[in-house]
Structure 1
């Protein structure tokens, strides 16, 4: 599986070290905190591809962290797997009802957890599961950096490629200019907001050449989204 960013929220230092080792070996970038409140800050600073969240962590319970991540539009769609020693059915249901995508009861083997993480990522983030990402009649080869629409090759600059890939990874999701700056240019970028509009125009021109349907919607006072149906 291609590179993915993981946020690990676990207050057992030995277990956190073990999981960091195994997931790093699987080419994940792992950010770790034992603190529920800090987890929310880290997730807001850089939205992870997946969250491994222990039920019992410092300052803020895993259930509450999960609830708040789901409430924030920026992290509402991030997959969450809860880790816990609680095995009762009622607790599992509570975790899933709060918004967790999966639930793993301790003790577990690292191999089992890696498999569960990869299964969730394949389901909710198809771009992380293979080389080709598709939406409507457009597709990206994420390894070869090739873009096609209805089978025809499209030439994109590096920034437009990253923009399109980001949209394809989150179809239908509305992104503000600030969020796109963080995700595509990086958090420390000093690029002006209007630069986002310039690159959106370039991307539109490239993928809509020949009078094709515009897949990128401008959402008034909100930002941009990839939406073939135009129902945002």
Structure 2
């Protein structure tokens, strides 16, 4: 496989048509080598338009979804980022190139170690992997300028919103099957948040994600 041709095709045929037009984001997809973050057995699928399987039933998000979320978050060099769901570490690597510091939280011990190894071998020094349950955020290091939830949330926990700084942005896939909304939630002040729906998709829920209240009759 011609890796650079496959990468070019991914960017031009999958990602750009999905309204990812920020040239800095497109350039970053050439800098951060996606093939170095996928499990070795799936190396030939690194640039495919699909969710690549990870250990213990988890998946990498499709490239176009990762790129669109990265574009919409508009991360800046002075900002601190929390990612929930490290997976392979690829999204954390993309975020780290745009941010001052990234903390990515992974509940699965094997995946947390996989992400650590991938970030280290790719020279990403401003991203740290914490092993634990981030379904309600990671209050110990809050507040954050940006929170990126790389898994589904049936509902967004209030605790998570409160870990944003004023002016901070949160990306999350909100709702339940069959269709969820990719939302960018911006904190306006102490009590107000603005929600922008960017696209529709489906992403597997985070482990221990907050569930909506059930009605009883």
TM-score, structure 1 as length reference: 0.28
Larger Rg computed on CA atoms: 1
TM-score, structure 2 as length reference: 0.29
More strand by share: 2
